[in-house]
Amino acid sequence: MKEADMSKNVGIVIVSHSSLVAQGAADMVRQMVGDEVPLAWCGGNPDGDLGTNVPAICNAIEAAWSERGVAILVDLGGAETNSEMAIEMLTDKRRAKAVVCNGPIVEGAVMAATESSGGATLEQVRRAAEELYRL
Amino acid sequence: MENKTTKELIECIAQTVISAASELTDLDQAIGDGDHGINMERGFRAVLAKIDSLGELAPGRAFADLGKTLIMTIGGASGPLYGKLFMSIGEALGDDPQITHERLLAGCDRAVAVLKALGKSDVGQKTMLDVLVPVIETLRVSKGGDVYGPLRAAARSAAEATIPMLATRGRASFLGERSKGHMDPGARSSELIIGAACRYLEAAPAAVLS
């Protein structure tokens, strides 16, 4: 898939306290959904231990950036708060196109990516990621 | 306020937090994920690494820069929470070399609003807000005379008051009733920071708060 085609779809960012969890969730998305969706992940604190890392989240958002927007899947508290911080650091124009989804990190990432691969909007992708928590 | 005072004040806060890292981690192991002390230490070590450049700034600018450093280095939810606390106060103090009671209060009020939104929490949920809010209320009514003694006492009793509380926000909320009987680690680190600032300012050669 060419870059130009990828950027038509909403990007997915996976932020976990564990790099293994983040990478594993990203592997599942790649295998189940394919390469049509811009995808990036990060996990671990600045020392490489369990935790989250604002600069790493900023880089992941940049890597998965799409003009359609970016949906971020997180695990526990610090991942959510630090992802919100990373969004706040984006330019004004980009800030409105990045959202943290209130959904389970693995299932939410797969569902969000599936929705994105069909060309859905950021809001539709977010709803897909959050679907399991609405049941 | 002299630049030297700003620098020493920040050093005092950072050293206090770093010295208490294992205590904070122990508290967090009881009801959280056990990394609060490690995270706070990493953040404040990063602050100390740039202390000379912070010391060249007006107090407001230095606090804002300190806050941003914490956000980028703590690596947990306390990064944005403490980061925004210092940034909000720093922005309210602005470029003024003096810290006025009025601007400090405005910054504190702004910080509480930001922290409530960021943490989706409020007073009474066993968080740092349970220390910050009563301390700010004490600051609001204390002007002139001994400001620092009452602030320190308010911070201490507010941190102790989190022990019997039931946590309904953060990782501790997963424990439900079992969260009772432990001091909240964020309440304790807030108390430490406030205590260190008061201790330094009390002994400072010139009155800082005007």
The pTM of the full predicted model, rounded to 2 decimals, is 0.90
Closest CA to A44 of B192, B35, B187, B184: B35
Catalytic residue at A17?
A: yes
- pLDDT beyond 60 at A39: yes
pLDDT at B1: 75
Q: Is residue B47 part of a domain?
A: yes
Note whether residue B27 is domain-resident.
yes
H or E stretch covering A39: strand A39-43
Pairwise CA distance, residues B46 & B73, whole Å:
7
In a domain, A53, yes or no: yes
**Residue B102 forms part of a structural domain:** yes
Tell me which of B31, B39, B184 to substitute to probe the interface with A (most A C-beta atoms closer than 10 Å).
B39
Q: Chain B residue closest to A56 (CA)?
A: B72
One-letter identity of residue B209:
L
Nearest Cβ partner for B75 among A52, A77, A80: A52
Q: Which range of residues forms the domain containing residue A80? A: 3-130
Q: Domain count for chain A, please give it.
A: 1
Model confidence at A8, pLDDT cuts 50, 70, 90, reads: confident
Q: Measure the CA–CA gap between A101 and A69, rounded to whole angstroms.
A: 13
Query: Which residues of B fall within a CB distance of 8 Å from A47?
Result: 42, 75
Is residue A44 within 8 A of residue A72, CB to CB? The reply is: no
Beta bridge partners of A74: A15
Q: Is B209 within the bounds of a domain?
A: no
Residue-wise pLDDT for A73-116, tens only, equals 999 888 999 999 999 999 999 999 999 999 999 999 999 999 99
pLDDT at B175: 84
Amino acid at B37: G
Q: What is the CATH number of the domain that holds B169?
A: 1.25.40.340
Residue A16 resides in a domain: yes
Instruction: Tell me, yes or no, whether A20 lies in a domain.
Output: yes
Nearest to B85 by CA among B207, B170, B197: B197
**B170/chain A closest Cα distance in angstroms:** 6
CATH of the domain at A96: 3.40.50.510
CB-based contact A76 B33, cutoff 8 Å? yes
* Cα radius of gyration (chain B): 16
Q: What percent of chain A has pLDDT over 70?
A: 94
Report yes or no on A135 lying in a domain: no
Its domain, for residue B8, covers: 3-203
CA distances to A115, B27, B92, B106, B155 from B79, in Å: 33, 18, 20, 22, 21
Q: Is B75–A85 a contact, with Cβ atoms under 8 angstroms apart?
A: no
Specify the pLDDT at position B205: 64
The whole-angstrom separation of Cα B38 and Cα B20 is 10
The confidence score (pLDDT) of residue B206 equals: 64
CA–CA min distance A117, chain B (Å) = 31
**What average pLDDT does range B3-16 have in this prediction?**
94
Give yes or no for a contact between B206 and B164, defined as CB atoms under 8 angstroms apart: no
Interface pTM (ipTM) of the complex?
0.82
**Parallel/antiparallel/unpaired status of strands A98-101 and A39-43:** unpaired
Q: How far is CA B179 from CA A80, B134, B157, in A?
A: 22, 22, 19
Give the pLDDT confidence of B166-203 residue by residue, as tens digits: 998 877 788 888 889 999 999 999 999 999 999 999 88
Average pLDDT, integer, range B160-171: 90
> Residue B63's pLDDT is what?
98
Number of domains forming the structure of chain B: 1
A43 strand-pairing partners: A16
Does residue B192 lie within any of the structural domains? yes
B12, containing H or E segment: helix B3-19
